[in-house]
């Protein structure tokens, strides 16, 4: 049977397998599978279970809601998880033998996260609580409630995906007694508390909280070790930057956590740190790797992937993710400083769990031609078993294009890494158009992972080039930092050098039919490119930045991100304007489609509106497509029918002009 080509509607067929969690005895595990319900136009995530001796997979929860954050009790007899069955996320609990889940919490504003107490009779919860209220207090619903003005004195008053932030609600930590249903507050004060970790003896919590009154320019959340009985606090780390994911070793002597300081602002590599509670010292275990700990991949398939920051074994070895050279690999570390990869190249390990003895790992793994499944790997030998086959039928019926990895020289004689896809159904001797796709961030990376959008472009008959220019993670600290203060400089040259390289090496590419697209920073770069070269016959800019001057005041991150990335604020408007694509609108000759979400608080829609009206006023060929009820993440987690409409707009524009 001849395989068909990828379609936009394949989003309804693809299954996302994420979040494997091993039982304490290592004999069974649970994971989350997400699909899109086409009829209800929503994402549905359910809990699945697997016995590791028989590889028998069973669905444990049903319904059309979302399950997340599964966690076993210390004795392995119970399982807790979050579910939005009743709108807000609440904690549910079920027997490890199966059966119906029982709802534990009924908090007014839902639950942000939770941790089992090792005793198995209590659960620690982190949840928003209104000032002067309790976790369980309910607000009276008033259908006739009149609109009220919103007042703020803070600069951080809005957030993409959330909107305007509540001024009178604060994340607090409490402990929930499973038998009685009582919840006892543990933290207090008008601060945002984060629940991080709990010791295996149940005597200590790790929490994150910044108690500074004015946090407009605070980019830190100190971590504290808190004695549960006395509430005495010991500083784990208190410095500029973001640190978290704290995990106690099994003997409770060490605490592992990850984080990045502010040396290179948001371009700083994340590292793995170890705190020794016996002498109070902290070491940076991954300082010598020159690559970021964690998952820096930008893609559009996995839903709700939430990997542990780090996992301990009983002999005090550690496992963590590392983003390196377009891969996310599972890495091993010892306290003595040994560091080596535990998984191979050319894949994306986006979820994992390691047995307590370090014998094997459960992993959710994707590559460029596989959306991802659950695998078991024997760590010593590298031998693998694939435990699920949710995407098997899809792969049997659809022709995917395997990208070819490329490395070329950019300015500064740096190696730049990327991928080139031939069009689906490629025939030798034919000429084909090419589209360059540019990632956002800019401190993220394209990777050896499944990317539906790239496959769709190839299926529509285009070659696809996607690269990791300077500013991308996964190569070196110098490389990821090099874009800051130079937007539209060396990064632009890196991308164009990649185009020149593949044109020289691939006679099948029609140099007269080139397209370019990208979102967020990739949208900025698309705008910049069409203002600086006429080599492209069509362009689609998505959720873009066009004007750094207005971005400063309208983006949820603008007032500090502009300084971090461009190197200045409103005290030097000329420099902001110099790096603004809008300044170069008069040079644009490329037909440009502008795609933007109306509820984007990261790159607000006024960025698109300015660009559109400016280009139209100059008689340029441009169109504007607005997506209602959508935020900055439309392409990844947006309303399903709008995600498909977006893909149709992009491919339709290129079909018209290429």
Catalytically active residues, by annotation: 520, 632
Where is 177: in which H helix or E strand?
strand 169-177
Q: Using CA atoms, how far apart are residues 322 and 269, in angstroms rounded to an integer?
A: 11
**Token pair recorded at residue 112:** 């942000």
List, as own/partner pairs, every contact residues 52-58 make where C-beta atoms lie below 8 angstroms and the sequence separation is at least 24, other chains included: 52/26, 52/27, 52/28, 52/376, 53/27, 55/385, 55/387, 57/387, 57/388, 58/98
Helices vs. strands in the chain: H and E counts, helices first: 11, 40
The radius of gyration of the chain from alpha carbons, rounded to an integer in Å, stands at 25
Q: Using CA atoms, how far apart are residues 306 and 14, in angstroms rounded to an integer?
A: 19
User: Quick one: which of 359, 377, 366, 385 has its CA closest to 328?
Assistant: 366
Q: Which residues contact 133 (CB under 8 A, 6 or more apart)?
A: 108
For 403-505, strand residue ranges (E) read: 404-409, 415-421, 432-438, 463-468
231: left (phi over 0), alpha (psi -120 to 50) or beta: left
Q: How many CB atoms lie within 10 A of CB 518?
A: 25
**DSSP character at residue 258:** E
Q: Using CA atoms, how far apart are residues 233 and 222, in angstroms rounded to an integer?
A: 11
For 190-290, strand residue ranges (E) read: 193-198, 204-209, 223-227, 233-237, 241-248, 254-261, 271-276, 281-284
Query: What phi and psi, each to the nearest 5 degrees, are found at residue 236?
Result: -85, -50
Q: Are 24 and 75 in contact (CB under 8 A)?
A: yes
List, as own/partner pairs, every contact residues 330-335 make where C-beta atoms lie below 8 angstroms and the sequence separation is at least 24, other chains included: 330/361, 330/363, 332/379, 333/272, 333/285, 333/286, 335/254, 335/274, 335/285
């Amino acid at each position: 049977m001849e395989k068909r080509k990828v379609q936009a509607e394949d989003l309804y067929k693809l299954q996302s397998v994420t979040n494997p969690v091993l039982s304490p005895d290592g004999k069974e595990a649970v994971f989350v599978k997400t699909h899109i319900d086409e009829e209800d136009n929503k994402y549905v995530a359910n809990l699945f279970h697997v016995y590791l001796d028989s590889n028998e997979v069973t669905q444990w929860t049903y319904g059309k809601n979302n399950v997340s954050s599964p966690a076993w009790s210390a004795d392995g007899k119970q399982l807790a998880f979050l579910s939005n069955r009743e709108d807000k996320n609440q904690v549910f609990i079920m027997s490890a033998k199966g059966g119906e889940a029982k709802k534990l919490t009924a908090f007014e504003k839902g639950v942000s996260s939770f941790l089992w107490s090792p005793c198995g009779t209590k659960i620690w919860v982190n949840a928003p609580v209104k000032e002067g209220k309790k976790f369980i207090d309910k607000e009276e619903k008033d259908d006739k409630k009149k609109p009220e003005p919103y007042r703020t004195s803070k600069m951080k008053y809005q957030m993409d995906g959330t909107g305007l932030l509540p001024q009178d609600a604060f994340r607090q930590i409490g402990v929930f007694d499973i038998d009685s249903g009582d919840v006892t507050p543990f933290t207090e004060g008008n601060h945002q508390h984060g629940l991080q970790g709990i010791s295996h003896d149940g005597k200590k919590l790790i929490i994150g909280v910044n108690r500074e009154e004015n946090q407009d320019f605070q980019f830190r959340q100190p971590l504290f070790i808190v004695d549960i009985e006395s509430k005495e606090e010991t500083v784990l780390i208190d410095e500029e930057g973001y640190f978290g994911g704290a995990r106690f070793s099994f003997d409770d002597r060490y605490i592992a956590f990850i984080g990045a300081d502010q040396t290179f602002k948001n371009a700083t590599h994340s590292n793995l740190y170890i705190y020794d509670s016996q002498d109070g010292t902290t070491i940076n275990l991954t300082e010598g790797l020159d690559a970021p700990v964690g998952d820096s991949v930008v893609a559009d398939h996995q839903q709700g992937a939430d990997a542990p920051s780090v996992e301990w074994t009983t002999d005090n070895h550690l496992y963590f993710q590392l983003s390196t050279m377009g891969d996310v690999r599972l890495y091993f570390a010892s306290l003595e400083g040994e560091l080596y990869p535990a998984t191979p190249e050319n894949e994306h390990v986006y979820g994992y769990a390691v047995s307590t003895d370090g014998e094997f790992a459960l992993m959710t793994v994707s590559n460029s031609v596989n959306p991802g499944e659950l695998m078991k790997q024997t760590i010593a030998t590298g031998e693998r078993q694939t435990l699920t086959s949710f995407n098997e039928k899809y792969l049997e019926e659809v022709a995917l294009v395997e990208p070819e990895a490329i490395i070329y020289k950019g300015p500064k004689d740096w190696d730049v890494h990327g991928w080139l896809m031939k069009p689906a159904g490629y025939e030798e001797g034919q000429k084909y158009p090419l589209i360059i796709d540019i990632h956002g961030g800019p401190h993220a990376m394209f990777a050896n992972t499944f990317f539906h959008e790239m496959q769709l472009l190839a299926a529509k008959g285009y070659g696809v080039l996607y690269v990791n220019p300077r500013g991308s993670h996964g190569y070196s600290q110098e490389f990821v930092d090099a874009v800051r203060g130079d937007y539209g400089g060396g990064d632009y040259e890196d991308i164009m050098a990649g185009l020149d390289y593949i044109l020289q090496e691939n006679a099948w590419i029609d140099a007269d039919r080139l397209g370019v697209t990208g979102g967020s920073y990739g949208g900025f770069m698309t705008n910049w490119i069409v203002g600086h070269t006429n080599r492209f016959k069509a362009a689609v800019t998505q959720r873009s930045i066009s004007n750094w001057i207005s971005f400063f005041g309208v983006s949820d991150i603008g007032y500090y991100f502009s300084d971090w990335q461009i190197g200045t604020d409103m005290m030097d408007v000329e420099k902001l304007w110099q790096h603004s694509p809008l300044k170069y609108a008069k040079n644009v000759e490329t037909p440009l489609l502008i795609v933007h979400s109306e509820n984007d608080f990261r790159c607000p829609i006024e960025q698109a509106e300015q660009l559109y009206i400016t280009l139209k006023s100059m008689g340029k060929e441009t169109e504007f497509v607005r997506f209602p009820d959508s935020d900055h993440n439309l392409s990844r987690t947006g309303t399903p029918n709008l995600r498909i409409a977006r893909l149709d707009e992009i491919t339709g524009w290129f079909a018209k002009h290429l």
